[in-house]
Amino acid sequence: MSDKTISKSHERYLLKLKKRKQSIFLVQVGLLLLGLILWEVAAYFKWIDPFIMSSPSRIWKLFLEYLTRSNLLHHVFVSVAETIVGFSLATILGLLISIGLWWSDYWAKVFDPYIVMLNSLPKTALAPIIIIWVGAGYSGIIVTAISVSIVVTIMNMYNSFISTDSDKIKLLNTFGASKFQVLRKLVLPSSIPDLISTLKINIGLSWVGVIVGEFLVSKAGIGYIIVYGSQVFKLDIVMMGVVILALISALMYKLIAIVEKRFTRWLE
């Protein structure tokens, strides 16, 4: 009898949770549609200057035109590929460096002021220097993306590593665990939630680095489209590039959120 009661209560809870998720999704879609409608109406009645702010209908028509008559997909592919490479390398290198700092407390203290200094530097302002050092083209853009996000990865993951429960570390040391075993069995698994959060941050930062690099030296990519639109003073093209960038960034963020849910279930 009690099992059935618990089962029904659990069913009601799951149904309530499902309805809440559906409600959140519907409100999100509604706010998006409302924003697009208000934007279109404001441009139609000239409450805003459609030449400067464009409108959803004009962006959609331009998107279809570029999709059929231009190499829009190539530009999107170039930017996405640069972002994925920069994002992946920044995450891997940042993770390895943070492991090294956790491994050696001496070198962690030595490099601490330099990491803080690098984090405070405006990496986007240093993009021209980075591109001169590395070279124009895809390599310069990717290194710019790495430079923007790697320091955040190092700081977040190192702080996560040193925040691992010290009592658990002492327990493993009592049983004769090596430092590598402590890292593999305790520190890395306990830092997975922080790693996922860092990945979410790095997606946006990697896009910033890629777009800044494309502003400077690219011959293809979403940043190139935005720069071209501003140079010929066709702001519809600029707004189209911004909208495409926002949609792709949101999609990549959503993919990481899906990975986060799966890891969360696995940890539970």
Residue 256 has pLDDT above 80, yes or no: yes
Predicted confidence at residue 107, as pLDDT, reads 86
Predicted confidence at residue 267, as pLDDT, reads 56
pLDDT 10s digits, 102-154:
888 888 888 888 888 887 877 777 777 878 887 777 888 888 888 888 888 99
Predicted confidence at residue 93, as pLDDT, reads 92
Residue 5 has pLDDT above 60, yes or no: no
> Of 7-21, 190-204, 227-241, which gets the smallest average pLDDT?
7-21
Q: How far apart are CA 266 and CA 264, in angstroms?
A: 5
Average pLDDT over residues 163-178: 82
How much is the mean pLDDT over the chain? 83
Q: Which two tokens stand for residue 44?
A: 């139609």
HSE-CB at 203 with a 13 A cutoff on CA atoms is: 19
Q: Which two tokens stand for residue 171?
A: 């327990």
Residue 203 has pLDDT above 60, yes or no: yes
Residue 248 has pLDDT above 70, yes or no: yes
Predicted confidence at residue 6, as pLDDT, reads 60
Residue 2 has pLDDT above 50, yes or no: no
Residue 230 has pLDDT above 60, yes or no: yes
Residue 246 has pLDDT above 80, yes or no: yes
From the list 260, 144, 253, the residue with the least C-alpha distance to 203 is 253
Residue 268 has pLDDT above 60, yes or no: no
Contact 198, 153 (CB under 8 A): yes
Average pLDDT over residues 166-194: 83
Q: Is the dihedral of CA 150, 155, 158, 164 positive or negative?
A: negative
HSE-CB at 24 with a 13 A cutoff on CA atoms is: 6
